[in-house]
Structure 1
């Protein structure tokens, strides 16, 4: 369990995108259709990547193993948030139980932070591949890869508990209206009875340390990568070396760009109300872009995806 319940509040009401539930679907219907299609494409894209990595022997490499686990974390993260969001858009009953809210927040942080750690590991993998190619098979052995992925998931779970436990051990005595489409930290802290500033500051500092720590490690990896690539004498060699990490770099920029805007923009407790429109960026938009970028920017993966699709659609031709 996620802590002892000291509250008279047994459920919360998710406002979503509008404080008027009866007007929400008519006004947001075009966005509902768009977001639903993007979400379905996200699931399909990540499932295809996982299938391609599993079925194609040529993709049985550390880089694609990490990409496969990244797809798993992305599917898990979006499934925690998006189905509930879509259900609330088409209904007028927007309540979520106290423990349902706690579990949603825990899994959101667990999968989201595991995603950050996996992106960091992928940066390290590219650093080893480009800067220490002769030692790559030793430094990135199958045992090391499994250990790195397991550590990422375990760290995400621990961090999720560290963030969620203090919040749901606060006293909630009403009101119980969350100004967001899922259980987010800032609007929940505004509902706590008494002073929640210590919890807000602690969680904010922890999140900043994790974000900046992961980003700093990725930045350091790419600093060494850039220095190594610039030493390659031929332009074609430099292009090939950079192409192996271009998709990861683009996803990192998008991921941390949105995370910085959403999570680091406000520091005062009075300004902690969740921004629902910005929440769409990391619950729908970023997961939607990720499989597209990895598929289009990686020729080996693109060819493998074509083979998988051809085998599925036209098995007699292969």
Structure 2
């Protein structure tokens, strides 16, 4: 995308388009699984705080993250090969800013029903299933928080989940609308805008969202602000 913006050519080969789609789906699926892992991490920290260091140790966390990253590759390779094995005999213009699944499928000739169903299956596995795990984790987290006797403890527990919950709502909301909404009901401009949101905007905002919840960062910002005010006065 950056190369296209700089060169203003807007051309891409079939192989490069397939590679772009492969990496995009792989990284997107991995992010969904990692968000589910983070929800489980919050569940253990709030519901089982005494066992947190025993359950979510460094070795287990690294193994889980690695397994998530590797598990997406075979499914994505199969999905990409299925799509780019279709005949493309019509227009060669992709009405999008990257090689997205629904957009490339529109350029294929013949019956693409099986491929569309395969897209829904992949979406269900790498988007819907992790979302259900996140939902179950937060149901238990909220249930545990509501049983806390002190309001301060409840507020602190909710605060630890706010950043992750914000990212989940933003990412899953836009991605689900894009891939699970029926084609006739999805306008082209809206699809591009939603794709831009979960592929560029939200990943850009992620560090800021988590950064603002970091106590050390906030303390440093307050000190910097106090220092600047002190200089002005």
Provide the TM-score with structure 2 as the length reference: 0.86
Please tell me whether the aligned partners of residues 102 and 164 of structure 1 are also in contact (alpha carbons under 8 angstroms).
yes
Say yes or no: does 1:100 pair with 2:16.
yes
* Contact 1:190–1:272 (CA under 8 A) maintained in structure 2: no
Aligned to 2:227: none
Of 224, 227, 233, the match for 2:140: 224
Contact 1:110/1:158, CA 8 A, preserved across alignment: no
After TM superposition, list the pairs within 5 Å mapping 1:1-318 onto structure 2.
Answer: 82-87=1-6, 91=8, 93-267=9-183, 275-300=191-216, 302=218
TM-superposed CA distance for 1:206, in Å, is: 2.3
- Relative contact order higher in (CA < 8 Å, ≥ 6 apart): 1
3-state DSSP class of the match of 2:181?
coil
Please list every run of 5 or more consecutive structure 2 residues that lacks an aligned counterpart in the other structure: 225-233
Runs of 4 or more above 3 Å deviation: 270-274, 300-303
Q: Does 176-185 or 116-125 show the bigger shift?
A: 176-185
Q: CA deviation at 1:200?
A: 1.1
Q: Is the 8 A contact 2:175 2:194 kept in 1?
A: no
Q: Deviation digits for residues 211-259 of structure 1, max 9, x if unmatched?
A: 1111110010011111111111111111111211111011111111111
> SS in structure 2 opposite 1:95?
coil
SS in 2 for 1:232: coil
Q: Aligned-pair distance for 1:288? A: 2.3
Pairwise CA RMSD? 2.3
TM-score normalized with structure 1 length: 0.64
